[in-house]
Structure 1
Amino acid sequence: MNDFNPLRDAVPLQEVQRVLVIKLRHHGDVLLSSPVFSALKAAAPHVEIDALVYADTAEMLTLHPAIRRVHVIDRKWKKQGVGHQLKQEWALLDTLRAARYDLVLHLTEHWRGAWLCRLLKPRWSVGCTRVDAGRAWHRSFSHLYKVSGGLPRHTVERNLDALRRIGVRPALADRALQLVPGAEAEARVRQRLTDAEVSGPFIHIHPASRWFFKCWPAERMAALISMLQAQGHQVVLTAAPSRDELAMVGAIQAGLARPVPSLAGQLSLKELAALTGMAQAFVGVDSAPMHIAAAMAVPVVALFGPSGEKQWGPWSARARVVASEHHLCRPCGNDGCGGGKVSDCLENLPVTQVMAALQDVLQT
């Protein structure tokens, strides 16, 4: 017989028609949930799968081939007054109720997901175990999956554990990140590259993160770019439109004898993905753009300091993580040494080590 299943309470996917996946976190976290949709669709092609994310992260999932609709919660609702927020929240709840989901997968420890499972009343609901939560949390779900407490596992695998808990075994082919820029974003990026007089192969460098304790010093990034220029490589810089990130790009440009084209602060997430997909390789730090580069299947060089690459490294076979070989205290998870916002393990990371990793991935 071929119907043996050691998981006695596996969800019978043939009885599932509509699924809601909730991922209320930052941009990179949302992108790292994309294999959940692919794997579930591969296991049950007939199901309609929706997502619920924060509005500013929606571009990480829109156009995903396995997703029917992306519902959003806009964190700006609060700024427009309590009345406006309640109106929007109620409208969202009505929309979700109307979908009549059979299965809800909640991929974080956010309480909103637990309460939504209670309000939507799906036949099956999946959430993670929480040692810090009481009965209200655990009784919100029909199935609970364990969060690894021992050896670190990549966030992609931890997300996929929600599927494993209900009897779905994701195939290796379905575990890749999925991000679709779309034809319009690709066309806009091609025009921007033309306007910036970039033609032919180029290396995409995104030097910043919203958390600056994860960043390599601007002078070292400038030294890397100078080495690349000396070898005849074109470089394109990007950054988020925040004042700090734009200032960092300015400091890098100031350290170059020949400034490089910059699209810093000019690109949407879809356009950033399109740009990365056109590049020879990507160089960056632990950040959402690094995860975007992994999703676009380009060679990636990722610089890691206090954060852990086993949990958050680029999810790609075409990636190299560069980290200090001399700071045995990493990864510490701290916001800089002593909480000082500056990480010695990154400050002392040599340019030659990063350059060697880049040359390695360019040859693969």
Structure 2
Amino acid sequence: MPDPGIRRALVIKLRHHGDVLLTGPVFSTLAAACPGIEIDALVYHDTREMLTLHPHVAQVHTIGRDWRGLGWLAQARAYLGLYRALKARDYDLIVHLTDHWHGARFTRLLKPRLSVAPQSRKHGKRAQKLWQRSFDALYPVVGGNRRHTVELHLDALRRIGIRPTADSTALRFVPGEAAERAVADKLAQAGVNGRYLLVHPTSRWLFKAWPVERMAALIDALTARGDRVVLSAAPSPNEMEWIADLKTRLALPVADLSGQLSLKELGALIAGARALVGVDSVPMHLAAAVQTPVVALFGPSGDIEWGPWQVPQRVVTAPYSCRPCGQNGCGGCGISDCLVAIAPERVLAALDELLVETGR
């Protein structure tokens, strides 16, 4: 077991938004195992909202993705400022959740009493030895869509003798009052009163998205029977173009908040929905974190590793032996046959089952 005197810990996750959100149970498990501990996070700056306001996160430190593009002097100043901020916290424990070299460098510089990281996939004996010398303990990473990402994160704590409990493994996301007010105003302006179904059909990687004509058919089926549908999507040009194409195919107009929301506001919008219909993307994980039932369509990505975590759900897939392949569509064409094969009727049936099950 780790020293019971651990007062302060740093959890490092330098990845994308969903990856960072899925680290939440690490903070909760540490807080439960070490009463009074302060736990900080080190993440990329654009992902910070995934953890701010989390009840078990004391401070969120960030690295800018653009720092590498700065001149050498500006870059050195940025990293030196971060190092000084971290050093001042005097960490007893560092939990590094990827094989990113930043975590190894900061661990060597900060010299905590205990540190843990995943076994490295770095190539070369020299790199392997340097990685091993940077940490006190290494944990194995079980890949191949055989273990959920949350469990993989928690394996870091299991490796040093801290076991999660049933109460410490839930995802948490706190939108905050300002985001909740902003979303309420935007829904009112869009004419949405009362409960609604939220459809977030896009992903940062569009090969994960259901074909636009099939999503249009599902939404038409919902609006035809009187369901109130709200659309959301990230403000990136490719996602906004996808949404524009979708809207031209709809028989009836729907409320559209695509490109208008911060991450906190998106979480608030999801929290107020009867259910979310989407794909393997950040909103699916946000739904789990705010306990909104979710119907998630999975094609080339792995539903065991990335599926909705501990929330009422339906995961809809097609029985293709090649999935999950993780590829940008079949043959690299950007279109995944395993998503094309999913019929709108199946998704509608899954949603209806979920709404009855949850009484929403």
TM-score when scaled to structure 1?
0.95
Output the amino acid matched with 1:42: A
Once the two structures are superposed, the pairs formed by residues 1-364 of structure 1 within 5 Å of their partners are: 10-12=1-3, 14-132=4-122, 133-148=127-142, 152-325=146-319, 327-364=320-357
Greater displacement, 150-159 / 269-278: 150-159
Alpha-carbon distance, 1:148 to partner: 1.6
Q: Percent identity of the aligned residues? A: 55
Output the amino acid matched with 1:77: W
Alpha-carbon distance, 1:273 to partner: 0.2
Output the amino acid matched with 2:154: L
Q: Give runs of ≥4 in structure 1 deviating > 6 Å.
A: none
**Paired residue total:** 353
Alpha-carbon distance, 1:135 to partner: 0.7
Alpha-carbon distance, 1:328 to partner: 2.1
C-alpha separation between the residues in 2 aligned to 1:229 and 1:190? 21
Secondary structure of 2:134's match? coil
Residue deviations 1:166-191 (CA, integer Å, cap 9, x gap): 11110012111111000110010000
Alpha-carbon distance, 1:82 to partner: 2.7
Secondary structure of 1:174's match? coil
Secondary structure of 2:115's match? strand
Structure 1 152/84 Cα, relative in aligned 2: closer, same or farther at 3 Å? same
Output the amino acid matched with 2:25: P
C-alpha separation between the residues in 2 aligned to 1:124 and 1:26? 26
Output the amino acid matched with 1:230: A
Alpha-carbon distance, 1:44 to partner: 1.0
TM-score when scaled to structure 2?
0.96
Q: Tell me, which stretches of 5 or more residues in structure 2 are unaligned?
A: none
Alpha-carbon distance, 1:83 to partner: 2.1
How large is the RMSD of aligned CA atoms in angstroms?
1.2
Conserved? CA contact 2:284–2:308, under 8 Å: yes
Alpha-carbon distance, 1:131 to partner: 4.7
Alpha-carbon distance, 1:76 to partner: 2.3
Residue deviations 1:112-150 (CA, integer Å, cap 9, x gap): 101111000001011111253411001100111111257
Alpha-carbon distance, 1:317 to partner: 3.4
Alpha-carbon distance, 1:80 to partner: 4.1
